[in-house]
Amino acid sequence: MAEPTLSALDPEIARLIKEENKREHETLRLIASENYASRAVMEATGSCLTNKYSEGYAKKRYYEGQESIDQIEELAISRLKTLFGAEHVNVQPYSGSPANLAVYLAFCKPGDTIMGLGLPFGGHLTHGHSVSITGMYFKSVPYGVRKEDCRIDMEEVRKLAKEHRPKLLWAGTTAYPRTLDFAAFRSIADEVGAVLAADIAHISGLVATGVHPSPVGIADVVTSTTHKTFRGPRGGMIFTKKEHAAAIDKAVFPGLQGGPHNHTTAGIAVAALEAQAPEYKVYTQNIVDNAKALGEALVARGFSVVTGGTDNHLLLIDLTNKNVPGKVASKALARAGMVANYNAVPFDPRKPFDPSGLRLGTPAVTSRKMGKDVMLKLADWMDEIVSAPEDEAKIARVAGEVRDLCASYPAPGIVV
């Protein structure tokens, strides 16, 4: 007898997946860290590779039956080496946080001093925030941004680094709209003898094509997720210089993880192939052009855009002048089909769970081939909703208009 399909076996889960598919089709995905993986990436991740254990690395595994797995992992690595110009790549981290933990394990001992951009200024939890293991097991000295322009102040980073002599210095962000000066971070790390780690989770797609400068070859180690601008499956990757290859590999396995997720590795390999195509470079440039256009349109409508605009894929909006808290705005926008996230802004007087800001990203709408005309429409809709976040009639009308728009822009990987 044939095996039952998902909907025959588990109609509840099948229905929920169908609903999520519909939601992803009918709404505008504006969460800066999200994207749509292609059908080919999804096919690889939904394959039999999920069945296989393969602790170790290619040709040095602890289980038999690795004929295909070794080739898949080697292909992922060689494609990424070419794409990023890296000496060594590890594709086994389960995601960005485990990749970052591997950096700590490879280079630090508990109690060492580390420095990263503070979470309230756009840094990541794993760059030493107090509630993360990285802020508990290490002495974290966060740096911030300048009050006047909300940009990272490299002189402040230098001053703090000279005072605290960190073992590890992070250059990486999750809610920062400007270009990172990796060379300046390198010179500071050299001055104080720190290991320089760049976390390019948000921007790795832009880095792959040169739309954002690359830290590969500058930083000692570079970490990334694989599902944001890079548009692969949900996973992690680490690039490092040859001299640190063994330490990083050992930290990932056996230091932190057991068997790698081979279905994810295959998806990463497919995404790396997609990223080598000339149209991917155009795509990544379009992400930035769209973010700039959306930022300009929002400024023209009286929104306060942190730093005045963006150099990358994201925008941080301070809603204080609109007298609407970030959470109220993001919930109303979501009801209107524009799905973003509320976010703290630098020097936010409000609490992290109820902050003043909104974070917007253009990677996913750009994957749907939406261009500047849509960004202007989006700014109009946002203006309407943020000005009246409790007007349910208006919200329902906009949600309908968003649905109509989405019908003309199929999302990669989404079956309609």
Least spacing, CB of residue 343 vs ligand DSN, in Å: 9
Q: Does 134 sit near ligand DSN (CB under 6 A)? A: no
Which one, of 189, 52, 218, lies nearest residue 200 by Cα?
218
Q: Is 384 annotated as catalytic?
A: no
CB-side neighbour CA atoms (13 Å) of 361:
25
Considering 18, 24, 43, 53, which one is annotated as catalytic? 53
Active site residue 55: yes
Query: What span, in angstroms and rounded, lies between the C-alpha atoms of 222 and 240?
Result: 6
Residue tagged active-site, from 27, 45, 225, 240 = 225
Strands of the sheet containing 314-318, edge to edge, are 304-305, 314-318, 357-361, 341-343
Residue 33 interacts with ligand DSN (CB under 6 A)? Answer: yes
Task: For the CB of residue 316, give the shortest distance to ligand DSN in the complex, in Å.
Answer: 12
Which residue(s) pair with 221 in the sheet? 197, 240
Note whether 274 and 40 are within 8 A (CB): yes
Tokens read off for 236: 């992690």
Residue 12 is a catalytic residue: no
Taking CB under 6 A as the criterion, which residues in 50-109 touch ligand DSN?
96
- CA count, 13 A, side-chain hemisphere, 50: 7
163 is catalytic: no
DSSP 221: E
Residue closer to ligand DSN (CB basis): 33 or 223:
33
Name, in order, each residue with C-beta under 8 angstroms of 119's C-beta and a sequence gap of 6 or more. 125, 127, 129, 142, 344, 352
* Rounded CA separation 94/265 (Å): 10
**In the complex, minimum distance from the CB of residue 124 to ligand DSN, in angstroms, rounded to a whole number:** 6
- Measured from the CB of residue 289, what is the shortest distance to ligand DSN in angstroms? 21
Q: Is 363 in the site for ligand DSN (CB under 6 A)?
A: no
Q: Residue 150: left (phi > 0), alpha (psi -120 to 50), or beta?
A: left
Based on CB atoms, which residue is closest to ligand DSN, 200 or 216? 200
> 3 catalytic, yes or no?
no
Three-state secondary structure call for residue 159: helix
Q: Among residues 329 and 399, whose Cβ is nearest to ligand DSN?
A: 329
Distance (Å, whole) CA 326 – CA 345: 10
Question: Is 199 labeled as catalytic in the residue annotation?
Answer: yes
326 binds ligand DSN (CB under 6 A): no
**Among 199, 274, 296, 311, the one annotated catalytic:** 199
174 is a contact residue toward ligand DSN (CB under 6 A): yes
CB of 89 to ligand DSN, least distance (A): 20
Nearer to ligand DSN, 174 or 356 (CB): 174
Nearer to ligand DSN, 96 or 413 (CB): 96
Q: What is the contact surface with ligand DSN in residues (CB under 6 A)?
A: 33, 96, 124, 174
